[in-house]
Structure 1
Amino acid sequence: MVTYLLDIMEYADSDQVIEVLGGAVSTRVIRHPNRSFAFEVTLDLEKGSEHFSTKPPLHFHANQDEFIQATEGKIGLELEGTEYILLPGQDEYCIESWANHRSYPLELERQEGRTVVKFLLSGAKSPEVYELNTLFFENWYKYQEHVVRKGGKIDLIQALSTFDAGGTYVSFPRWVPFGRQVSQLIGIVVGRWLGGLLGYQPFYREWSTDWQLACDKMESSIFQRRWAVRSKPD
């Protein structure tokens, strides 16, 4: 018998919904007793056709296992160079920490007539300051929307700063010696240290529901603590 995270998630009418890219991506934040975060993600493949045509970058999470489970439509999961197709009715898939991966909706022609894809995404609890949580996803999603709306391009230092704050780092090709360690070091040095000196914040007030938590995290770094101004305007 398949157990869906929905069976143990705590749904409420007041659940936060993060909607970006003109409604192409809608993420419902759901409480989960044993996870750092839990989301129900809905992707509208017609609204987001131009956004979903390119796969997200390969990456890994240094401090947490991540879990994904399809509930509607087909999700592709590339894990250490192998593609897996996640289907409704299957158990959740555990993506272990430090594993190179990316997930994405399969193309419309492979969805058997479905134009909407849904999946559950969650992460293990972590004692680390730099972890995947709702705060990270809010800022990463809304930064991407900001870039699209302005017609610009992703700023590499900003991306590294935000990723590092979520304990997440871009994967290097397999042939790079100690690629994960090198990537994490670049994320820390360029994203956290240099980025902080140059004025890049991992979290922004207008994109952060829990600004006090954002300040707690930024105060942990001497390069970012100047952004931790706790008075948040309405």
Structure 2
Amino acid sequence: MSTAKLLDPYLGKVITAFEGGIVTRVINHPHDTSRVFAYEVTFHLRHPRVAAVAAQKPPLHFHPYQEEYIEVLEGRLAVEVEGVEHVLSPGDSEFKLQPWCNHRLYSPVTDVTEVKGYDDGWDGEKTVFLLSGQDTDEMFRLDTVFFENWYAYQDLVVVKGQKIDLVQVMSMFDAGGSYLSLPTWIPFSRTVARGLGIVVGRWVGGVLGYQPFFKKWTTDWDLACRKMEMSIFHRHFADREGIGEHGA
């Protein structure tokens, strides 16, 4: 059973990353108000910060608890699912990512004319798409608290040059109901990956001082604290005054 729909304190907020290269606007989903989050995301593909990492695909990951939905409004977007690349353009139907599927999103390097058999006139300047997710009663899930903190952490790595910390990533991902994919040849790879995410990201990470959310990055800090208070490994981070923040 999904949670009751409450007024979203993030509605209308604009979250920027990569010095404006990625802009995310929090909206009400135009077709389904039951979605736990809905964003209009713009990738400015020729922005220096975005162009610098264009050849690097984000990590494969999966969400055990929620369906995720993608609808391209402008340009095109690649969605890799279980090793197969799907190139989406305006006019395509909403693309659904099922729970547990290994996937990632990125700007495609594939020529869309080859894939679709026609030229859609896209100039490569930007891609705009709707990203939304299914509601769930799970303690940790994809929502704006997660995305706000994840974008901010990526900025530390991409813009400020901080070395990526895998435990910090796993801590944030676990709190966002997400887990880094393992090679599919590993038996029960998804179950193992989820277990590692919980053990390393939540249990070990919590003991070592890795927190999933940070007051300096979070608009609704009270909500972040309520989420962390639901885990014995994160309760000590739920400081509503923000004193003694650890990690990133």
Q: Which amino acid aligns with 1:168?
A: S
Distance in 1 between residues matched to 2:242 and 2:13, nearest whole Å: 19
- After TM superposition, the structure 1 = structure 2 runs for residues 153-168 of structure 1, keeping only pairs within 5 Å, are 153-168=163-178
State whether structure 2 residue 27 is matched by structure 1 residue 30: yes
Please state how far the C-alpha of 1:211 moved relative to its aligned partner. Answer: 0.5
TM-score, scaled relative to structure 2: 0.85
The question of whether the paired residues in 2 share the 8 Å contact of 1:74 and 1:105 is answered with yes
Distance in 2 between residues matched to 1:138 and 1:122, nearest whole Å: 14
Structure 1's unaligned 5+ residue stretches are 1-13
Please state how far the C-alpha of 1:232 moved relative to its aligned partner. Answer: 5.1
State whether structure 2 residue 12 is matched by structure 1 residue 15: yes
Task: Find the residue that maps to 2:222 and give its secondary structure.
Answer: helix
Identify the match of residue 131 of structure 2 among 118, 121, 125: 121
Distance in 1 between residues matched to 2:126 and 2:228, nearest whole Å: 37
Q: In structure 2, do the counterparts of structure 1 residues 215 and 221 end up closer, same or farther at CA, with 3 Å as the change threshold?
A: same
Task: Find the residue that maps to 1:138 and give its secondary structure.
Answer: helix
Q: Which amino acid aligns with 1:23?
A: G
- After TM superposition, the structure 1 = structure 2 runs for residues 57-206 of structure 1, keeping only pairs within 5 Å, are 57-107=59-109, 112-206=122-216
Distance in 2 between residues matched to 1:232 and 1:29, nearest whole Å: 25
Please state how far the C-alpha of 1:52 moved relative to its aligned partner. Answer: 2.3
Distance in 1 between residues matched to 2:186 and 2:168, nearest whole Å: 24
Cα deviation code 1:181-211 (max 9, x no counterpart): 1000110000001101111100000111111
Cα deviation code 1:15-34 (max 9, x no counterpart): 10001111110000112421
Q: Which amino acid aligns with 2:27?
A: I
TM-score, scaled relative to structure 1: 0.90
The question of whether the paired residues in 1 share the 8 Å contact of 2:79 and 2:88 is answered with yes
Q: Which amino acid aligns with 1:93?
A: F
Query: Alignment length, in residue pairs?
Result: 221
The question of whether the paired residues in 2 share the 8 Å contact of 1:108 and 1:115 is answered with no
Please state how far the C-alpha of 1:109 moved relative to its aligned partner. Answer: 7.0
Taking only the aligned residue pairs, the percentage that are identical comes to 50
Cα deviation code 1:93-150 (max 9, x no counterpart): 1100101111111249768422111111000000001100001000000001012233
The question of whether the paired residues in 2 share the 8 Å contact of 1:108 and 1:114 is answered with no
Distance in 1 between residues matched to 2:110 and 2:201, nearest whole Å: 35
Residue in 1 aligned with 2:118? none
Distance in 2 between residues matched to 1:114 and 1:53, nearest whole Å: 15
Structure 2's unaligned 5+ residue stretches are 1-10, 113-120, 244-248
The question of whether the paired residues in 1 share the 8 Å contact of 2:19 and 2:159 is answered with no
Residue in 2 aligned with 1:44? 44
